[in-house]
Amino acid sequence: MDVGASRPRHAPEPLALARCTPAERDRVYALVVMTFPTIWASVLLDRLPTELGSLAAACTRLGVDATPMREGWLALPGGFLAMLSPAPYPEDLLVHPGALEVPARAHTAVLHLSGGGDEAERMMLESITQEVREGRVPSKTTRFQKVERLVEHVRALAPLGPGVVLPLASHRYVPAEAWPATEGAGETFGLFVTIGRAGDVLQTRGMSVFAVSECACATLHPAETAPRLFDVAFEVAWRGHTPREGGVFEAFVDREVPPCELTPVLPDLLWIGDPHDPAGAIALHDAAVRAQARTVFAAPALFDDPGASGDVASITMHGALEGPRRAMTVGLARLPRAEGPVELITTSPALSAHAGFALGQVAALLAANPDALGPYHRVAIETLAPAGLAGVVIWPSGHLQLGGRVIALWELLPITPEELAAFRAGGQEAWMDHVEDTNGFEALQARWCGAR
């Protein structure tokens, strides 16, 4: 470990969460309605249409009436919108280590589909709290019904290419021939929602398409717990039920299983089980950190690397369709530090194994001695040599706010062997000044992908 300069500096990209004033919210809303809404499904296309009209005609021939709009989008039946992207889906999001399947052949363009104007209801969650009585199944929420209509559209359009990607479900790829040919609420739900594991935490991914919270629980027996978590999440989506101050959730999917206690943790995370037992409290904290990071990064979690430093921290990868990819440790914030809790992050243009490895190495140092490192310290990592790198510099990059706790985020910026040698000769201060003056953070972040 090397120690460098430590005077205050600016973050490469502030990630702090702040409460917006009503005027700021109005400006944000005005911006949102002018841009394409959240993408629910992406149909891969074998050919790039010559114009929007020809794409609309192709959709109509497949049974989905499509009308070109002035904004350059297509209007589909049921209030759906479609937008053509003249580039392939980002490859690193399709072939990441957590991918269930990958496309069997190349594609040239993508047709993104969204719920259109109904996206506004994401801020006004449906709350159906009627009791589930014996023999009576509650009606589906309008959101669930809309997702079922989306499945019908995608089923018709899937033959346009090799398959369909579901961004909110960790960019899950479903081949065209595997897209369900029969209707079914459970089958629809299973397409859009996946269950990921990080340490002893199981958490759903993709519930936002149903406008309800994600569900999480702690478990040592995932084979037994995962089906139960899936059933409860299905009922949450089916009924649109989000408990405000806790409550008992009676799952109609399987009446042989006792009711599950749901505890709100964050606006987009529900906890199943007892959050007060020691193991549950740890898992609850880490799940809340992951949920908050997903919100701040504006990107779904792709996959989890179980164990950056034993039982202390894991690594979660995040990726949006556009913008940088981020990897983050989860667990270090539980360690007692004199200067307050911290987690590590890396930022890169694409998913990078080198970035994740560096996170694990620095996390191991902090796990052994939480106060050993600080902002602007440098860490030499010899095993990064195959990537042309020699180590990292720790740079403060905003924070997460978890209730009343503030968790600092430290970004690891990669450095070359030449730079490390210069730092040891006293040149780190000048290097940091240059990076700051030229805003050279993106160039440094690109090094994780081999670009120097």
User: How high is the pLDDT of residue 139?
Assistant: 74
pLDDT in tens, 122-168: 444 444 444 444 445 567 888 899 999 999 999 999 999 999 999 98
- Are 424 and 393 within one domain? yes
Q: To the nearest whole percent, how much of the chain has pLDDT over 70?
A: 82
User: How high is the pLDDT of residue 370?
Assistant: 93
Q: End of a domain among 274, 295, 316?
A: 295
- Are 290 and 387 within one domain? no
Lowest mean pLDDT among 69-83, 256-270, 404-418: 256-270
Best-predicted range by mean pLDDT among 219-228, 251-260, 424-433? 424-433
Q: End of a domain among 191, 208, 240?
A: 191
Q: How confident is the model at residue 282 (pLDDT cuts 50, 70, 90)?
A: confident
Confidence (pTM): 0.86
The mean pLDDT value for 28-32 works out to 37
Lowest mean pLDDT among 156-160, 167-171, 247-251: 247-251
pLDDT in tens, 345-371: 999 999 998 998 999 999 999 999 999
Asked if residue 398 belongs to a domain, the reply is: yes
- Are 369 and 285 within one domain? no
- Are 165 and 57 within one domain? yes
- Are 333 and 267 within one domain? no
The mean pLDDT value for 367-380 works out to 95
- Are 352 and 215 within one domain? no
Q: End of a domain among 263, 295, 327?
A: 295
Asked if residue 115 belongs to a domain, the reply is: yes
- Are 336 and 395 within one domain? yes
Q: To the nearest whole percent, how much of the chain has pLDDT over 90?
A: 51
- Are 184 and 41 within one domain? yes
- Are 1 and 114 within one domain? no
Q: What is the mean pLDDT of the chain?
A: 84
- Are 12 and 125 within one domain? no
- Are 155 and 215 within one domain? no
Neighbours of 94 (CB within 10 A): 19
The mean pLDDT value for 200-210 works out to 87
User: How high is the pLDDT of residue 375?
Assistant: 96
Please tell me the total count of domains within the chain.
Answer: 3
Asked if residue 107 belongs to a domain, the reply is: yes
User: How high is the pLDDT of residue 276?
Assistant: 78
User: How high is the pLDDT of residue 222?
Assistant: 63
Q: Flag whether pLDDT at 341 surpasses 90.
A: yes
Asked if residue 449 belongs to a domain, the reply is: yes
What residue numbers bound the domain in which 140 lies?
36-191
Asked if residue 301 belongs to a domain, the reply is: no
- Are 140 and 42 within one domain? yes
Asked if residue 300 belongs to a domain, the reply is: no
The mean pLDDT value for 83-111 works out to 93
Asked if residue 376 belongs to a domain, the reply is: yes
